[in-house]
Amino acid sequence: MIGICRAAALAVGAFMALAAPVSAPVSAQQGWPQKPVRMIVPFPGGGSNDTLCRIVGDKLAAAWNQPVIVDNRPGAGGNVGAEIAFHAEPDGHTLLCSPPGPLAINHNLYKSIPYDWSKFEPVTVLAIVPNVITARLDLPANSAQELIAYAKTNPGKLTFASQGNGSTSHLSAEMFIHMTGIDMVHVPYKGEGPALIDIVAGRVDIFIGNIAAALRFEKMHQVKFLGLAARSRSPVAPDVPDAAEIGLPDLIASAWFAIVAPPGTPAAIVQKVNADTAAALKLPDVRAKFLEQGAEPQGDSSAATAAFIKDEEARWRAVIKAAEVKLE
């Protein structure tokens, strides 16, 4: 009898040992979040990346009854912040809120990066900010087609600004050059602000950057918009023709901002962050604040986000290869 009881006890103990690894994560997920959630932004404060993530972070903090702390970790084109997020504990208490560079571009630009961009757990796309062809006011071209014609009759005379080598504004211009067969001279700046200031001053001819940064200058009639690098017109500048309307349907170049989680973050947590973020993006005040930034709210599913990032990576990889752009 004692032997039977002992055998039964051992069997129960063995079952509990096997069950423990499965049940522990489930109970942890049910209590998530158990502490403040850190949202890493891989660029400095004050930019579109920082602003949009803070708007959503405030709503998530209220929904989760836990602080959402935006942690700016700039450096190396966003690689510094992305590396920190990549190696964080995959328990849902660290997220990365990032533009395209760290998630779809940098591994094609740099010789090596300290994380595997493809292993992040995609959560959702927060917003898309289409790029727009912005020109100095006195440039003798008032449409994209006139710009192309002018460039072809004045090869090598036009200059284009970017917010830095390898930035989306640089690559967008390279895409435009490749599609149209024109020749322009690249003038890289340290950020979109200085680039736009020199467009306003007439020291450089065009800038193909996100509409959020350029919109206030256009509203003050200090620059002009020649066309949008997007599949449809933007609600913040409805009079600007889209890519197909300017005869370049494949000129699709946007800044976008996505939330991803460290590799191995439980699917249940990923789905909760996705659902709560999508709900926040539907709130009227959030939509209004996003549109003020020139950003179109998204809220895609995790699967759709994965597919979107994959498509964007392929698009920018082709541009980088064609333009032979490389960074150390």
Listed by start position, the domains of the chain span 34-128+255-323, 130-246
Are 127 and 296 in contact, with CB atoms under 8 Å apart? yes
pTM, rounded to two decimals: 0.84
Report the 10 Å Cβ neighbour count for 238: 7
Q: Classify each residue of 281-311 as buried b or exposed e, where b means 16 or more C-beta atoms within 10 Å of its C-beta.
A: beeeebeebbbebbbbbbbbbbeebbebbee
How far apart, in Å, are the Cα atoms of 48 and each of 51, 69, 218? 5, 17, 18
Q: Residue 17: its pLDDT value, please? A: 45
Would the CATH topology of 34-128+255-323 be identical to that of 130-246?
yes
Q: Dihedral, CA atoms, 185, 193, 57, 269, nearest 10 degrees?
A: 10
How far apart, in Å, are the Cα atoms of 240 and each of 164, 224, 244, 291? 25, 10, 12, 16
Q: Dihedral, CA atoms, 39, 40, 44, 49, nearest 10 degrees?
A: -60
Q: Residue 9: its pLDDT value, please? A: 46
Give the tokens for residue 239: 């009079």
Q: Which CATH architecture has domain 34-128+255-323?
A: 3-Layer(aba) Sandwich (3.40)
Q: CA angle, corner 81, sides to 300 and 311, nearest 5?
A: 35
- pLDDT tens digits, the chain, 328 residues: what are they? 444 444 444 444 444 444 444 434 444 467 899 999 999 999 888 888 999 999 999 999 999 999 999 999 999 989 999 999 999 999 999 999 999 999 999 999 999 999 999 999 999 999 999 999 999 999 999 999 999 999 999 999 999 999 888 889 999 999 999 999 999 999 999 888 899 999 999 999 999 998 988 999 999 999 999 999 999 999 999 999 999 999 999 999 999 999 999 999 999 999 999 999 999 999 999 999 999 888 999 999 999 999 999 999 999 999 999 999 988 7
- Cβ neighbours of residue 264 closer than 8 Å, sequence gap 6 or more: 90, 121
Are 210 and 192 in contact, with CB atoms under 8 Å apart? yes
- Cβ neighbours of residue 312 closer than 8 Å, sequence gap 6 or more: 100, 104, 256
Nearest C-alpha neighbor of 245 from the set 221, 229, 260: 229
Domain 130-246, what fold?
D-Maltodextrin-Binding Protein; domain 2 (3.40.190)
Q: Residue 29: its pLDDT value, please? A: 61
Are 222 and 137 in contact, with CB atoms under 8 Å apart? yes
